[in-house]
């Protein structure tokens, strides 16, 4: 079955310095392999897409990009450079590639402007954001103008994992828990919950937020969010139950989560229109991801929605 994949990463030489720490944490064979695949837009990437039946990949700069840059002006310039670089690569193969913008979130106004430029000039489908930026989360007031722009342009934001600003005390002594195994899940789920509980989706009811990794554990927690929210003394006012924002504003992908239990949970809690196929290339195997969704115990109608129909509708491809 043909597929659209939307958590698929690249890098350009300018950004190696920001990702170096992540590569250093891997063995050399793994990091060399990832770097070669991240830099490639031609043979290997297309070959792997073909083998997995992926017709279109929505590409994004790998974590963290300029979101770790301390100098705001450098971040603004380099984000533009990344987006122009990606647009040029897409233009050479626009049938197979689409793009998510990379934003200089150190300056919310510049980020909104860059998003608009990328959508209008480069026809990108939204932006992929790698978690917090120098300690700032997207629910903070200064980002309201970015969300206004997101709603006006009617594009999606993919909230991708990134590291927390500081290593949490409770992970001390367990480096294996800091990254993709657990730390990023907890950090990204918390970021999404901050957006829900800040009332962002009451203000901007049409915003579509995408989470990878089958929703970073949130579909599993939907009932409990409602039940415990009701008893907290200082809860902020919300127009709906927390789980209703999960169902209406949040969409999830299967990136890096090739397991039937979480898939069935996401379908049951969020609905069959809210789940989309993705790989997390090159960090996960396109072949494993494709086989997983092809064999998953769901109807062919639901499989089609997950593989491409939902992404086509949500990203307006
Ligand atoms: Mn990823």
Does residue 111 surpass a pLDDT of 90? yes
Mean pLDDT, the chain, whole residue set: 97
Average pLDDT over residues 42-60: 97
Count CB atoms within 10 A of the CB of residue 26. Answer: 14
For residue 150, the CA-to-ligand 1 centroid distance in Å is 21
CA distance 20 to 245: 36
In this predicted structure, what is the pLDDT of residue 230? 87
- pLDDT band for position 235 (cuts 50, 70, 90): confident
In this predicted structure, what is the pLDDT of residue 313? 98
In this predicted structure, what is the pLDDT of residue 145? 98
Query: Residue 215's domain is classified under what CATH number?
Result: 3.20.20.140
Is residue 280 part of the annotated active site? The answer reads yes
Average pLDDT over residues 251-276: 98
Does residue 78 surpass a pLDDT of 90? yes
Cβ-based neighbours of 89, under 8 Å, separated by 6 or more: 10, 41, 59, 97
Average pLDDT over residues 96-124: 98
Number of domains observed in the structure of the chain: 1
Model confidence over 168-185: pLDDT tens digits? 999 999 999 998 999 999
3-state DSSP assignment of residue 199? coil
In this predicted structure, what is the pLDDT of residue 61? 98
The alpha carbon of residue 221 and the mean position of all alpha carbons in its chain are separated, in whole angstroms, by 19
For residue 67, the CA-to-ligand 1 centroid distance in Å is 15
- pLDDT band for position 236 (cuts 50, 70, 90): confident
Of 124 and 231, which is predicted with more confidence?
124
Q: Which domain holds residue 241?
A: 3-314
In this predicted structure, what is the pLDDT of residue 122? 98
For residue 26, the CA-to-ligand 1 centroid distance in Å is 16
- pLDDT band for position 250 (cuts 50, 70, 90): very high
Active-site choice (63, 107, 139, 280):
280
For residue 100, the CA-to-ligand 1 centroid distance in Å is 13
Token pair 């480069």 in the structure block, residue: 122
Strand order in the sheet with 97-99: 3-10, 54-61, 97-99
CA distance 223 to 246: 11
Does residue 233 surpass a pLDDT of 90? no
Model confidence over 112-168: pLDDT tens digits? 999 999 999 999 999 999 999 999 999 999 999 999 999 999 999 999 999 999 999
Torsion of CA 148, 149, 150, 153, to 10 degrees: 130
In this predicted structure, what is the pLDDT of residue 134? 93
Does residue 278 surpass a pLDDT of 90? yes
- pLDDT band for position 21 (cuts 50, 70, 90): confident
In this predicted structure, what is the pLDDT of residue 234? 82
Entry pTM: 0.97
For residue 267, the CA-to-ligand 1 centroid distance in Å is 21
Structure tokens, 125 = 């489908």
In this predicted structure, what is the pLDDT of residue 84? 98
Question: Among 120, 245, 231, which Cα is nearest to 192's?
Answer: 245
CA distance 268 to 262: 10
Average pLDDT over residues 51-59: 98
Average pLDDT over residues 48-54: 98
């Amino acid at each position: 079955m043909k597929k659209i994949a939307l958590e698929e990463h690249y890098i350009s030489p300018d950004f190696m310095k920001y990702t170096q720490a992540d590569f250093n944490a891997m063995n050399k064979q793994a990091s060399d392999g990832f770097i070669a695949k991240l830099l490639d837009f031609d043979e290997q990437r297309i070959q792997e897409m073909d083998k997995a039946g992926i017709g279109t990949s929505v590409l994004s700069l790998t974590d963290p990009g300029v979101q770790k840059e301390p100098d705001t002006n450098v971040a603004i310039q380099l984000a533009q450079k990344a987006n122009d670089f990606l647009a040029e690569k897409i233009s050479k193969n626009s049938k197979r590639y689409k793009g998510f913008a990379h934003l200089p979130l150190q300056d919310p106004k510049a980020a909104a402007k860059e998003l608009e430029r990328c959508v209008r000039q480069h026809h990108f489908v939204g932006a992929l954001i790698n978690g917090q930026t120098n300690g700032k989360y997207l629910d903070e007031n200064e980002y309201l103008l970015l969300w206004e722009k997101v709603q006006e342009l009617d594009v999606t934001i993919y909230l991708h994992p990134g590291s927390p600003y500081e290593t949490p005390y409770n992970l001390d002594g367990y480096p294996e828990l800091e990254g993709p195994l657990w730390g990023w899940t907890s950090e990204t789920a918390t970021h999404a919950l901050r957006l829900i509980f800040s009332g962002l989706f009451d203000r901007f009811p049409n915003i579509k937020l995408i989470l990878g990794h089958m929703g970073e554990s949130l579909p599993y927690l939907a009932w409990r969010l409602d039940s415990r929210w009701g008893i907290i003394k200082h809860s902020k006012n919300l127009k709906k139950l927390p789980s209703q924002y999960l169902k209406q504003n949040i969409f999830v992908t299967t990136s890096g989560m090739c397991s039937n239990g979480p898939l069935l949970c996401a379908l049951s809690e969020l609905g069959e229109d809210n789940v989309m196929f993705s790989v997390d290339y090159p960090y996960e195997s396109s072949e494993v991801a494709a086989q997983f969704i092809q064999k998953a115990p769901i109807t062919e109608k639901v499989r089609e929605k997950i593989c491409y129909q939902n992404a086509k509708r949500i990203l307006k491809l």
